[in-house]
Amino acid sequence: MTIKNNNDWSELDFFGDKANEETNLFNRKISWNEEDPLDEKYIEFLAPHSRRYFSRLRPLFSFEIKNLRSLNGFSHILLRDGILFLLRFFQRFPEPTGFHSLLFIQEDLAFIVPEAWSSKVNLYKTVMYERKNPSHPENLVLILNLHELQSQEILHKLVKDNSNGVKSLAILPFFNQMRGEDYLDYNRAENLNVLNELFSNNVDLINQTDIGSFSESEHFFINGNPQMIYYSDSSLTHNFLRSGWTSPVYDTIPKGTDDVVSLSPYHGMKLSNYKVPSWQEPLRKRLFEDLNFPRGEFFSNEPALNRDVEDYFKIFYFSKDLLQLSYELGRELYSNKSGSGRAF
Amino acid sequence: MKLALIKKKDSSFWRSCQSITSNLEESYLKLCQNSGHTCEVLTYETHANSLESHDLATLVLEKGFDQVIWLDHYPHPQNLIKVLLKHKGKLPKFIIHLFGDFILQAPLWNNVQDEIEKSNHDFEMHFVCASQKQKELVHSLLNSSNSEDVSVIPFPVDELTFFYNEEDRQKRRIELDIKEDETLFFYSGRLSYQKNIIDAIYTFATYSKTFDPKAKLILSGPMDDLGVPYLGKEALDGTFFFHWEECLREHTDLVDSNRIIYLGNLTHRDLAATYCAADVFLSLSCHNDEDYGMSPAEALCSGLPCLLTDWGGYGSFKAYAPDSVCLVPVLPGEQRHGPHRSLAVKGLASLGTPQDRGALTKLSHKKMGIEAVSKELGVLCTSIDENKKLFAGFNKKFFKLCSLFENNPRAPFRGPNGQYSLFYHELYGAYWKSSEEATK
């Protein structure tokens, strides 16, 4: 590990007995952060992307964090959040008071980190390893996460941008999973409209069980989560990469590159110091200057999240306004990022 | 005779099962080509619901098949048998090829027995295992003292894909950068906890340090995170890679000098060429479902000597190729069984490349090739037709096994302290037994 700054993770132990013991404790969540009904509800809501997986970086969603002190038993953790939950996290904890660990967040979401947290945050991104004899698969499996306010325009662009030169396109769709009566308030018409549009392009819709008969030498995949609303780190992505599949979305680097924590023989996570890149500056300005995040009025009406029975009966522990803002930021993020020549 | 070959419409999730079903089908087709029998392949959806079972049963009865051959490990034939038992007339006889998941499917077989009892029908069924030890395990659950109630016929290997070819060996060794004087050990199959991959790496490392510092080990196949489901030990996705990485970090000298190489998933063609390129096949698996072993079977057919644990179906390979298979005793553990490592190291040292790999290919094809197996299947079908060797029901031990699965499906063999239960040790007694003793 080569880079050093205030949020120095170069001294972090990802390997060795002490680190393994911490990781082991982290994975036995029942012993330090028992899952409550609210966690269960969100994990289910985001399935299959939210499935837990093993990593030396200790991944979890911020909605699982009941208090910051509970994280101090670990030298570092990784937040799998998308825009929405990350906004909510920093709104709940505007300052890192009592927090003596380090966070890793997805590098595209660096613009959300408040100044007060900047010395406690570092960044990660998923990368694939170069292969000796790479195959050149020509059939695309597109994983689509059909959220209620997702922009049809972006999804269409996503399909269009990635269909060139592709022999066949199959879509593996997922909807948010609802519990109890939550489905009554859930607007799924938009999702179905998106599917309807895609159907008209004669796209194959497939189930996850169909993937078993596909081969990684003939197929590649894209986990279509361009706006990163609910999550930035999907276990489904890792399952595909772990099985040897490739995706044009992720950078390819030589195996053994510094500052990378491996998750399989084929992929890992590249770590870097916290820094907001220039293409994210407009988003940061919007959030911090226009809306005075995280203490501004716009954010003061968020539910208290007492994790009591009322929270259990509501699927949303965030306001509709915050969700709307997340979608807007997500749209801008996608557009700025692709405008800056990067894959989404 | 008119045979119905039934298999799942889609391929199995497991790669070895894909080969097994396809090769079994090929063997039966060959049998029919070379005899007066006829056969037809019928397919079943993955979930095999009652409605589809009804349609399939109607088809089986209308076409007047004499025997139904069950070629796949999943779905289970219970629904089809249930529908057929409602038919008043004569039913075809069933030949069931059992896979490694027979124990896992015990409650479903219990349903079949219940249906047979309810129907008062003379339902005739015969189990075929792929190895002697699996036969012993299955037979120990039957209400019968006649050991002929269960047959042993190996899962066939496609001899046109897996055979020794010197040219392929040389070419592949160049591709893999293996020098002429370097001994190449090869493991192919799932990389999983119960497959004892970590033991294999340690064994190789010790061998390399002690006997042959130039030796190389190549591993191929997908990694999976199955823990020990019989004990309720589940693992998060990605956990196996953690153990793999930890193990390789202890052997950085071997990794950095390319003497331990992981190739990932191989195509059939590359797999066959790698068997040719290698000098010894190595698998120290103690997996619960190791009823046979397609990888060792393919390796032997490629003229490659094998070092295997004396566990489950692996024992049978010693009988097929006594001079080219070395069996390593298994040491029982409370939560994990492993190979006797020092004997495994000795075994690696004792196995050399045979003088004539072509002869080993020939011998193995004679025992496990599609052609050879089709002849054995012909004998089996005739004896079944003559009402020999038919299923006589399950015994009390079997019903206890089903009850354990039904009461605690997530950890059926977990003892009071989290270890394997005494019942498990009794059940898998045949898998432990030394193959030499079994042969005596």
pLDDT tens digit string along B104-122? 999 999 999 999 998 878 8
Q: Name which of A15, A216, A238 is nearest B237 (Cβ-Cβ).
A: A238
For the segment A119-130, the average pLDDT, to the nearest whole number, is: 96
Residue of A nearest to B265 (CA): A244
Band (B435; pLDDT cuts 50, 70, 90)? confident
More confident residue, A205 or B198: B198
Q: Residue B439: its pLDDT value, please?
A: 56
Mutate to test the interface with B, among A126, A264, A266, A269 (most CBs of B within 10 A): A264
* pLDDT higher than 50, residue A2: no
Q: Do B241 and A264 touch (CB under 8 A)?
A: yes
Inter-chain residue contact B242 with A54, CB threshold 8 Å: yes
Which residues of chain B have a CB within 8 Å of the CB of A20?
246
Minimal Cβ distance to B236: which of A15, A27, A243: A27
B237 and A20 within 8 Å at the Cβ level: the answer is no
Edge-first strand order for the sheet with B260-262 is B260-262, B216-220, B184-188, B280-283, B306-309, B325-328
Angstrom CA distances, B358 to B171, B269, B304, stand at 17, 18, 10
**Confidence at residue B291, expressed as pLDDT on a 0 to 100 scale:** 94
**pLDDT value at residue A173:** 86
Between A56, A239, A266, which is nearest B237 by CB? A239
Q: Where are the beta strands (DSSP E) in B215-365?
A: 216-220, 260-262, 280-283, 306-309, 325-328, 330-331, 338-339
Q: Does B438 touch chain A (CB under 8 A)?
A: no
* Residue A207 clears pLDDT 80, i.e. is over it: yes
Are B410 and B286 contacting, i.e. CB atoms less than 8 angstroms apart? no
Mean pLDDT lowest for which of A94-98, B51-55, B154-158, B375-379?
B51-55
Q: Strands A121-129 and A267-273, how do they pair?
A: antiparallel
B20: closest CA among B162, B161, B155, B160? B155
Cα A246 → chain centroid: 18
Average pLDDT over residues A38-51: 90
Nearest-10 crossing angle of helices B294-301, B15-33: 60
- Beta A219-224 vs A267-273: how paired, if at all? unpaired
The per-residue DSSP string of A261-296 comes to EESSSSEEEEEEE----GGGHHHHIIIIIIS-TTTS
> Taking CB atoms and an 8 Å cutoff, what residues of chain B touch A52?
236-237
Q: Quick one: closest CA in A to B221, which residue?
A: A243
Rounded to an integer, what is the distance from CA A68 to the centroid of its chain?
Answer: 20
Please report the domains of chain B, with CATH numbers, ordered by start residue: 2-156+370-397 (3.40.50), 166-368 (3.40.50.2000)
Query: CB B223 to CB A239 under 8 A?
Result: no
DSSP B160-197: TTS---HHHHHHHHHHTT--TT--EEEEES-B-GGGTH
Residues of A in Cβ contact (< 8 Å) with B249 = 15
Q: Do A244 and B222 touch (CB under 8 A)?
A: yes
Nearest CA of chain A to the CA of B234: how many Å? 12
Token representation of residue B353 = 């490349």
Share of chain A above pLDDT 70, in %: 86
CA distance B152 to chain A (A): 30
Q: Stretch B263-291: mean pLDDT, rounded?
A: 95
| pLDDT tier, A1 (very low <50, low <70, confident <90, very high otherwise) | very low
Taking 70 as the threshold, does the pLDDT of residue B334 lie above it? Answer: yes
CB contact under 8 A, B249 and A15: yes
B108 reaches A (C-beta below 8 A): no
Q: How far is CA B318 from the centre of its chain?
A: 15
- Closest Cα in chain A, distance from residue B192 (Å): 13
**Residue A193 · residue A152 · CB < 8 Å:** yes
Q: Report the C-alpha gap between B302 and B363 in whole angstroms.
A: 10
Cβ distance of B264 and A244 shorter than 8 Å: yes
Query: Would an 8 Å CB–CB cutoff place B46 in contact with chain A?
Result: yes
- Give dist(CA B132, CA B154) in Å, integer: 9
Please list the alpha-helical segments (H only) found in B330-385: 341-350, 357-368, 370-385
Chain B residues in contact with A235 (beta carbon < 8 A): 237
Q: Which residue has the higher pLDDT, A146 or A77?
A: A77
Q: Which of A217, A244, A263 sits opposite B238 (nearest CB)?
A: A263
Is the pLDDT at A8 greater than 70, yes or no?
Answer: no
| Mean pLDDT, range B348-366, rounded to an integer | 89
CA distance A108 to chain B (A): 24
Nearest to A264 among B236, B238, B246 (CB): B238
Please identify among residues 267-296 of chain B the ones whose CB lies closer than 8 Å to any CB of chain A.
267
Over 90: is that where the pLDDT of A3 sits? Answer: no
Tell me the shortest Cα–Cα distance from A263 to chain B, in angstroms.
7
What residues of A are in the B interface, CB distance below 8 Å? 15, 20, 27, 51-56, 209, 212-213, 216-217, 235, 238-239, 242-244, 262-266
| Cβ pair B237:A52 closer than 8 A | yes
Question: B264 vs A56: CB contact, 8 Å cut-off?
Answer: no
pLDDT computed for residue B134 by the predictor: 96
Q: Is the pLDDT of residue B10 over 60?
A: yes
pLDDT at residue number B440:
52
SS3 B85: coil
* pLDDT averaged over every residue in chain B: 92
Q: For position B73, what pLDDT does the model report?
A: 86
- Report the complex ipTM: 0.88
Q: How many helices (H) and strands (E) does chain A have?
A: 9, 11
The answer on pLDDT for A248 being more than 60 is yes
Inspect the interface and report whether the beta carbons of A54 and B236 lie closer than 8 Å. yes
Q: Chain B contacts of A239, Cβ < 8 Å?
A: 237
Q: Using an 8 Å CB-CB cutoff, list chain A residues near B246.
A: 20
Q: CB-based contact (8 Å) between B9 and chain A? A: no
Q: How close A264 gets to chain B, by Cα (Å)? A: 6
Share of chain B above pLDDT 70, in %: 97
Q: What's the mean pLDDT in B168-177?
A: 97
Q: Please give the interface size between A and B, counted as residue pairs whose CB atoms are below 8 Å apart.
A: 53
Residue A149 has pLDDT above 80, yes or no: no
Helix B357-368 vs helix B370-385: crossing angle, to nearest 10: 20
DSSP 8-state code for residue B302: T
Which of A260-269, B349-358, B376-385 bottoms out in mean pLDDT, i.e. has the lowest?
Answer: B349-358
Taking only the tens place, the pLDDT of each residue in B138-151 is 999 999 878 788 99
How distant is the Cα of A87 from the closest Cα of chain B, in angstroms? 28
The whole-number pLDDT of residue B236 equals 95
> Is B246's CB within 8 Å of A53's CB?
no
**Residues making up chain A, counted from first to last:** 344
Q: Which whole-number Å values give the CA distances from B43 to A101, A279, B82, B126, B397, in the listed order?
A: 57, 55, 18, 20, 33
Percentage of chain B beyond pLDDT 90 is 77
Torsion region of A292: left, alpha or beta (phi above 0 gives left; psi -120 to 50 gives alpha) = left
Global pTM value: 0.91
Q: Which residues of B touch A263 (CB under 8 A)?
A: 238, 241
Residue of B nearest to A241 (CA): B238
pLDDT(A11) > 70: no
Please state, in angstroms and rounded to a whole number, the distance separating the CA atoms of residues A196 and A155. 12
Q: Give every CB contact of residue A250 below 8 A, 6+ residues apart in sequence.
A: A125, A126, A127, A128, A241, A267, A343
**How far does the CA of residue A327 sit from the closest CA of chain B (Å)?**
30
**B11 → chain A, closest CA residue:** A213
Q: Residue A210 pLDDT > 60, yes or no?
A: yes
Q: Which of B40-54, B72-86, B102-116, B170-184 has the lowest mean pLDDT?
A: B40-54
Per-residue pLDDT tens digits for A258-270:
999 999 999 999 9
Q: With an 8 Å Cβ cutoff, are B237 and A54 in contact?
A: yes
Residue A266 · residue A244 · CB < 8 Å:
yes
Count of residues in chain B: 440
Between CA A53 and CA A233 the distance in angstroms is: 11
Any A CB within 8 A of B242 CB: yes
